[in-house]
Structure 1
C-alpha cells in the first residue's frame, strides 16, 4: 500500500520523474513537490538549447502525473522525528514519506573578480547556467555581446559554447583538463569534438586555468595571457545540495548517503538525484537520477516494494548538429596497463572526412563501454547491448555500422 502523503523536497528532474512514475505505477497517496524555483519542473539538460533558441521555456516542461507542485516554496528545515517540513513562507507541512531531491549548486571557480564589490552576487556579464532564470539573464546579455569566454570544458561548457556560437558570438573555452569532456570522452574523440567546435568558430585553450576577471572585463589566465570578453560563463561542475539534510542530522558525505533502497539515515526519508551518494558515488547526471526515481517510485507506490537500486552505467549525450556525441560505460579502460586486463579489446572507427569517431571497449564477448561522435545511428542498440550484458557478434566492428539496421 502506498503512503498517504509523500513530500518531495525539490522540483527538478529527479522529483518530476519520481512523481510521474509513482502515479503511473498506481500509487494512491498524495504527492507534493516543494520547489525553490518559481517554475514547475523542467528538463535542465535542455537549457543550452533554450539559450540557442531551439526550444522555448514551456517546451521543456516535464510531466508530473497527478502530483501537486508548490513552486517558489523553499523548504528551510525538516524534523525527521515529527515528520514535518518548515517552509520559507512560515508555513509547515506534514509527511508520511519524505523524498529529498534537492539537486546541486553550480561550482564557482577560484577566479578573482567574479563577484560584485559588495559581495552580493556575480558581476554584470558573469553567469552560471543552472536554471531557466540563469538562461534568461544570459540570453538577454548575449543579445548585445560579441565575445564570450566559457570557463570549463565539460558537457555543460561545450553545450553553452555551442549555443552562444549559434547566436553569432565569438566564443573561447578555457579548460584545465588535458582535453574536452575528459570524464566521458577519450583523447581521440575530444580532438574530433574540438575540431567540430573550431568549425563553429569556437577556440579552445586546454591545460589552462582562469585566474582573474580584471576591472576592464578581461579574463586573465594563469599563464598571464588575457582574453577580452563581454560575457563570462562559468561551467565548472556542480556540488550536491546537502545543507538541509546535514542540518537535520542525516548522514552526508559528498552527497546524502543512501542504501540500495535509496533510504537515508532516518526512517521514512529517502534521497534521489544529484544530491545523492550511493555506494560512494555521486553521479550528477540525468540518467542515474531517473533510474533512482524509478526505483523509489516502485517502492513507495507499492508496485515493487522490494525494488533495489544497485548503480548506473551513465549515458552522456549531446545532440546538436556537428557536435553530436554519446558516451557510456567504461570508456577509459584501455588507457590502463593492458596487462591488468588481458581480456580487454578496443575497436575504433574514424572517418576524418565526416568528422566522426566511434569506439567500442570489449571485455571478452561483452560490451563494457562505447563512444560515438558525429554519427549516433547505433547508439540505442549499443546502449541496450551494454545494459543486457549479452554476448556480442563474432565481428564487433559490425556493431558500429550495421547493428541499427539489423535490429
Structure 2
C-alpha cells in the first residue's frame, strides 16, 4: 500500500488530502500541520477581523472528516527534517513517519521588516494572528496597518469596520501596485477614506513604538495596534535543508514534482516555470494534478500554469483585477472609464483582439464576462463599451444565466462551470449549499456566490420548482 505523507495542512495540503481520498479510499495518508487549528480558509480571514465571520465559519474540513475517511491528521506537529535516503520525515518531538510519496505544502510566512520595534506589531497571516489582532482591537484607540497590498487593504477595512480609526501606510506610490495602475490605486484609496481608512502612500516606516510608528523624516502616526501586512515569502527551509532545488520557491516540473521523484510540492511554497503563485485557485489546481498522479487516476495529468484573477475581499469594496493591468496605449488597446466621485474605475487591456488584462473597481457586474474572455483567450466583441457597461448594451452578459454558455467558468477558485452547476441541479441540488457540497463552488473566496445563486434560482424558475 502506498504511504502518502503531506507536510502542511493549510488550503493546499487539505485540498490535496481530500482530492486523494476522492480517488483512492485505501491509500495510507498522513498529514502534518504546524498550526494547531484544523485547516481553514485563509482567504476569508479578513472577515474574521471584520467580525462578519467567526473561526468555525472559515474551517475547510471538520475534525471528524479525517477519522471518517481514514486519514491520520497531526495538527500542531512540526516536521523538522526530511530523510530522503530512508524516505521518512522527522518531527520536532523526534518522531519519524516513513513515506513512499511526500508532498510539501508548507505555504508562506509573513515578511517582517527589519525595523526597530517590529516585535511590538502583529502580522496578518494566520488564524492565530487574527485572534491577536482582535484581542488588541478591543482596547486599542487606533490602528496602523503597514503594507497596502491585498492583505493590508483587507486588514485595514476589517479594523475600520469595527469602528477603529485606521491609518494604512504603503511604501509604493499607490495601493496594490502589483494588480492596479496608479489611477485605480487612487480610486481605491478614496473609497477606503469614505470607509474610515486614512491612506498614506510613498512612506517609509523607520520604527514601531508602543503607541504608533515613526516615519522617515520624523513624523509619528498614532496607533495602539500596529498590523504588519508587508508581503509573504515561501516556506522553503525544509526543502533546502533536504537538498532539494530551491529558488524563490521549491522548484517543480509540470507534474509538481521536485528533483527528487518521490517528493512533490504544491501551493505557495512551490515554484513552477519560474512563478510562485500566491492565490488559492492555482494551489487547488496543483493539488488535483498531484492527486491524479499519485493515485494513478490520471497519469497524464499536468499543471500548465494559471491565469490569475485577484478579488479583494473587503466589505463595501468591490475589486477584481486580472492579467497585464499596467500596459498603456503604447503597448495595447486600452479602454478605460473612471468616475472617482462614485468610486468606480474600469479598464480593459486588449492585444491582438484578445483581453490580456482588466481592472474593475466599484460596480463589478461585468466581471463574469471579462473573466471568461481572459481565461479562455476568446476574441473580444467589437462593442467595447458593452463589456464595460453590460447593463446598457447588447453584449453577451455572463452574469445572466440565460446568456451564459455551459462552458462559462463561474467559480474561478474551484474551476466550476455553469454546465457543472446545471448538472448538479438536475441531480437534485436545489440550493447553493447543495451545489457547494457537490462542486465546491463558493468555498474559495466566495466571490461567485451571487452568480451561483442566480443560476440555481433561474433553473428553479424555469422548471417551476422552489429553490
Superposed pair shares fold, TM > 0.5: yes
Match of 2:145 among 150, 164, 179: 150
In structure 2, the partner of 1:288 is 282
Contact 1:27 1:301 in 2 (8 A): no
Deviations 1:351-402 (A, max 9, x none): 3443221111111221111111112223233222211111121112212222
1:104 corresponds in structure 2 to 108
Superposition deviation, residue 146 in structure 1: 1.3
CA change 1:192–1:11 in 2 (3 A) is same
Equivalent residue, structure 1, for 2:81: 77
Counterpart selection for 1:91 from 86, 95, 107 = 95
**1:285 Cα deviation (Å)?**
2.0
1:68 aligns with 2:62: no
> Secondary structure in 2 aligned to 1:334?
coil
What is the match of residue 34 of structure 1? 32
Matching of residue 301 in structure 1 with residue 299 in structure 2: no
Q: Is the 8 A contact 1:77 1:86 kept in 2?
A: yes
In structure 2, the residue corresponding to 1:383 is in which secondary structure? helix
Equivalent residues in 2 for 1:1-400 (5 A)?
Answer: 4-26=2-24, 28-63=26-61, 66=69, 67-114=71-118, 122-123=119-120, 126-214=121-209, 216-334=210-328, 338=330, 341=331, 344-400=332-388
What CA distance in whole angstroms lies between the structure 2 residues aligned with 1:390 and 1:86?
Answer: 49
> Could you tell me how far apart the structure 2 residues matched to 1:146 and 1:251 are?
47
Q: 1:370, 1:301 → 2: CA distance?
A: 38
Q: Matches of 1:306 and 1:299 in 2, distance apart? A: 8
Helix, strand or coil at the partner of 2:342: coil
Measure how far apart 1:307 and its partner are.
1.4
**Secondary structure at 2:6 match in 1:** strand
Q: Which moved further from structure 2: 175-184 or 311-320?
A: 311-320
CA contact (8 A) 2:44 2:313 kept: no
Confirm or deny: 8 A CA contact 1:210 1:220 kept in the other structure.
yes
Structure 2 residue matching 1:348: 3-state secondary structure = strand
Q: Which TM-score applies when normalising by structure 2? A: 0.80
- What secondary structure, in the 3-state scheme, does the structure 2 residue paired with 1:158 have? helix
- Whole-angstrom distance in 2 between the partners of 1:242 and 1:330: 28
Partner of 1:246, secondary structure, is helix
Shift of 1:181: 0.3
Distance 1:195 1:385 in 2: 29
Aligned-residue CA RMSD in angstroms? 1.7
Structure 2 counterpart SS, 1:312: coil
Q: Deviations over 1:19-75 (max 9, x none)?
A: 222223446423222000001110111111101111110111114783432101111
- Structure 2 CA distance for aligned equivalents of residues 168 and 105 of structure 1: 29
Corresponding residue of 2:415: none
How far apart are residue 161 of structure 1 and its match? 0.3
Q: Distance in 2 between matches of 1:16 and 1:351?
A: 42
Aligned CA distance change for structure 1 residues 303 and 381 (closer, same or farther; 3 Å): farther
Moved more, 293-302 or 248-257: 293-302
Assess if the C-alpha contact under 8 Å between 1:287 and 1:315 holds in 2. Answer: no
SS in 2 for 1:397: helix
SS at 2:316 equivalent: helix
Task: Number of aligned residue pairs: give it.
Answer: 389
Cα distance in 2 for partners of 1:351, 1:23 equals 49
Gaps of 5+ in 2: 391-396, 405-467
Moved more, 314-323 or 131-140: 314-323
After superposition, the C-alpha distances for 1:85-134 in whole angstroms (9 at most, x for unaligned) are 111222211111110001111100121122xxxxxxx23xx100111111
Report if the CA contact (8 A) 2:11-2:41 is conserved. yes
Shift of 1:179: 0.3
Q: Aligned partners of 2:379, 2:26: CA distance in 1, in Å?
A: 41
Paired residues of 2:33 and 2:75 also in contact (CA < 8 A): yes
TM-score by length of 1: 0.91
What's 1:118 paired with?
Answer: none
In structure 2, distance between residues paired with 1:228 and 1:19: 45
- Answer yes or no: is the 8 Å Cα contact 2:347–2:360 preserved in 1: yes
Deviation of 1:319 after TM superposition, in Å, equals 3.4
